[in-house]
Chain A
Amino acid sequence: MNNNLKKINIYAIYLGAIILILPLIAFFINAFSFRWFYPQVIPKELSLQAWVRLKLIPKPGQRTFEGFIDLWASNPAVIKALLNSLSIGFLVTIVSIIIALPAARVLGLLNFRFKKLIIFIMVSPTILPPIAFVLGLNINFISWGFSGNYFGVCLVHLVPIMPYVVLTMTGIFANYNPDFEHQARTLGANKTRTFLLITLPAIAPGMVVAALFAFLVSWSQYLLTFLIGAGKVMTLPLLVFSTASSGNPALTAAISIIFIFPAILILFFTSKFVSGESGATSGFGKI
């Protein structure tokens, strides 16, 4: 009896895993098939047509190294969106870490009045939905000249990212012992050297997780980019959304695969650090 139950248990897990992976399978079939009509389950012919139409892979016959370079140099929409997404993500991540570092140190190491209130204010953007602030902010950004440009989009991405980075790094500093810094200083190291040789190595692992996470939040931002970018700043999520609404499954699937690739990569690298206690995990629910 107990053994049977165990078997059912395990089969249920396998079934769950298969169901969970179905969308991913559908992405790959759609992206690499040609005329995948109902009711075929397995496509009759494989094809790179979607990728050719997105100008990511050259037409047959031109698939040499130069062919790829020429094609990508012609700046197709997907490459443009990819570069925008990447550069906005990197920039916002670096800026948020630099801004959060001193704040997290103070919040993690010191006790002072209003600390709880300040933490509450910092995390409030994670509780309220983005639509609550972005509609009003949009009007302000138009009058400040931040609407419809790269700078404005980067600025607005800081809002959902800031709380997680501050929170995660506060957690790191709460377990950090600043006495080592004093020792380095008494031994004659200056402030920069102390930071580079003592502080940075101690906080680096946690900081990497915070950075990867910040990047991912920026990477998957749709509503904020759409409204503040005013159609002039094209990123990958915007492209996925518009292709999906226009209803071409092959193109949508191909762009989606590019879009989810870094996400899976980041999960792979951080799965060790991702646990229920980490501040970053709570943000995963919101990407």
Chain B
Amino acid sequence: MGGERLKIILSLTPPLLIIFTLFFGGIFYGFLQSLGYQPAIGKYEINFSAYYNVMFSERYAKLFWTGLGLNLWVSFASTFLAAVFALFGALAIRKTFFAKTICNFIYSLNLPMPHLVVAVGIIFVFSQSGLLARFASQIGLIGSPGDFPVLVKDKYGLGIILAYIWKEAAFFFIILMSVLQSLGENFEELAQSLGANRWQRFRYVILPLVMPNLFSASIIVFAFSFGAYEVPALLGVIYPQMLPVMAFEFFLNPDLNARSEGMALSIIIAIIVMILVVFYFWLTQAKIRKD
């Protein structure tokens, strides 16, 4: 028995060591710095002034709260829309039709595509001189590029949302396809034979069955889009600015005092994501207990 225990400890130590020193160590050190502890520039006191500055000081408060609002809007909108598109795509594509394999491949094509490339693709397609604007001008809808609506680098984060929809819809699609495949069509046929119409079959049969997987995938997508840097950095504007971009810019600021504020911001992002995940686990656990 003792030998087995030693084996367990020895096997688990290397990956745990990496995660503890690099991941948790990084978070812990970032947290220390956010409290103002910066031995590199001779600051040893510990206080919450960086958090206060970021959230309530006249200089940053407006930037922070609009940024937080943008973060919530972008993450909610893109998660919800990507899930809806993927759900309809997955339901429609189950039937056999011409070129199904190709369509299937295209629908999952964005899955391995790096977010960075998707963001560049959104610029190419949706910018004011992009592919869509050119189509629109060919059919006489618009004259100059300025007539095309600003969809990329816009105040409302539309370009960022588009990029996340593009990318995450493929992710939802794959998950939904495998759930639907494992369910088969028996439930639906049964409901149909009992007289359920199209909408009732969707609302009372399919939706409850795919909901658990859809919901856990949504949490992953939401948490990711809330804390990711590349897409908002390429497709966002200076004001309002999403929090990860703001944190990164604070951090790169030559003024070393801004570094604490950047760390504080990144800790705030992490805390919000953590609250969300805990809430999710609590929700699913509560549901399991109820059932």
Interface residues of A (CB under 8 A from B): 6, 9-10, 12-14, 16-17, 20-27, 29-30, 38-41, 99-100, 102-103, 105-107, 110, 112, 118, 121-122, 124-140, 155-156, 158-159, 162-163, 166, 216, 219-220, 222-223, 237, 240-241, 244-245, 249, 252-253, 256, 259-260, 263-264, 266-267, 271, 274-277, 281-282, 284-287
Q: Which stretch from B53-61, B175-183, B187-195 is at the chain A interface?
A: B175-183
Q: In the complex, which residues of chain B have a beta carbon less than 8 angstroms from the beta carbon of A155?
A: 22
Q: In the complex, which residues of chain B have a beta carbon less than 8 angstroms from the beta carbon of A6?
A: 95
Q: In the complex, which residues of chain B have a beta carbon less than 8 angstroms from the beta carbon of A285?
A: 167-168, 171, 217, 220-221, 224
Q: Would you call A9 and B95 a contact (CB within 8 A)?
A: yes
Q: In the complex, which residues of chain B have a beta carbon less than 8 angstroms from the beta carbon of A216?
A: 112
Q: Identify B175's interface contact among A17, A121, A281, CB under 8 A.
A: A281
- Docked complex Cα distance between A252 and B23 (Å): 32
Q: Would you call B10 and A102 a contact (CB within 8 A)?
A: yes
- Taking the closest CB of chain B, its distance from the CB of A109, in whole angstroms, is 10
Residue ID in chain B nearest A268 by CB atoms: B105
- Taking the closest CB of chain B, its distance from the CB of A230, in whole angstroms, is 11
- Over the window 131-161 of chain B, the binary record of Cβ atoms lying under 8 Å from chain A Cβ atoms (1 yes, 0 no) is 1111101100000010000000000000000
What DSSP secondary structure best describes chain B's contact surface?
helix
- Taking the closest CB of chain B, its distance from the CB of A248, in whole angstroms, is 11
Q: What's the interface size class on B, roughly?
A: 35 or more
- Over the window 92-136 of chain B, the binary record of Cβ atoms lying under 8 Å from chain A Cβ atoms (1 yes, 0 no) is 110101110011011111111111111111111100011111110
16 contacts between A and B (CB under 8 A): A9-B95, A10-B98, A13-B93, A30-B124, A38-B129, A103-B11, A112-B5, A132-B27, A135-B251, A158-B18, A219-B114, A237-B114, A259-B116, A264-B113, A271-B108, A287-B114
- Taking the closest CB of chain A, its distance from the CB of B39, in whole angstroms, is 9
Given A132-B30, A132-B267, A249-B124, also A20-B18 (CB < 8 A): no
Q: Would you call A9 and B16 a contact (CB within 8 A)?
A: no
- Taking the closest CB of chain A, its distance from the CB of B277, in whole angstroms, is 5
Q: Would you call A38 and B133 a contact (CB within 8 A)?
A: yes
Q: In the complex, which residues of chain A have a beta carbon less than 8 angstroms from the beta carbon of B120?
A: 23, 27, 240, 244, 252-253, 256
Q: In the complex, which residues of chain A have a beta carbon less than 8 angstroms from the beta carbon of B84?
A: none
Residue ID in chain A nearest B180 by CB atoms: A276
- Docked complex Cα distance between A212 and B69 (Å): 37
Q: Would you call B177 and A112 a contact (CB within 8 A)?
A: no
Q: Would you call A136 and B8 a contact (CB within 8 A)?
A: no
- Docked complex Cα distance between A210 and B287 (Å): 32
- Docked complex Cα distance between A107 and B8 (Å): 9
Q: Would you call A128 and B111 a contact (CB within 8 A)?
A: no
Given A131-B229, A131-B248, A274-B174, also A159-B106 (CB < 8 A): no
Residue B31 at the A interface, CB < 8 A? Answer: yes
* 5 other A-B residue contacts (CB within 8 Å) besides A136-B28, A271-B108: A22-B132, A38-B133, A135-B263, A136-B32, A244-B120
- Docked complex Cα distance between A10 and B213 (Å): 25
Given A103-B12, A133-B22, A281-B174, also A222-B116 (CB < 8 A): yes
Q: In the complex, which residues of chain A have a beta carbon less than 8 angstroms from the beta carbon of B4?
A: 110
Q: In the complex, which residues of chain B have a beta carbon less than 8 angstroms from the beta carbon of A281?
A: 171, 174-175
Could you say which of B7, B116, B134, B269 has the most chain A C-beta atoms within 10 Å of its C-beta?
A: B116
Q: Would you call B117 and A256 a contact (CB within 8 A)?
A: yes
Residue ID in chain A nearest B32 by CB atoms: A136
Q: In the complex, which residues of chain B have a beta carbon less than 8 angstroms from the beta carbon of A125?
A: 19, 23
- Taking the closest CB of chain A, its distance from the CB of B92, in whole angstroms, is 5
Given A26-B121, A26-B131, A241-B234, also A140-B29 (CB < 8 A): yes
9 cross-chain pairs, A with B, having the tightest CB-CB distances, nearest first: A129-B227, A23-B121, A136-B30, A137-B26, A133-B26, A220-B114, A276-B178, A26-B124, A132-B270
Q: In the complex, which residues of chain B have a beta carbon less than 8 angstroms from the beta carbon of A22?
A: 121, 125, 131-132
- Docked complex Cα distance between A118 and B16 (Å): 8
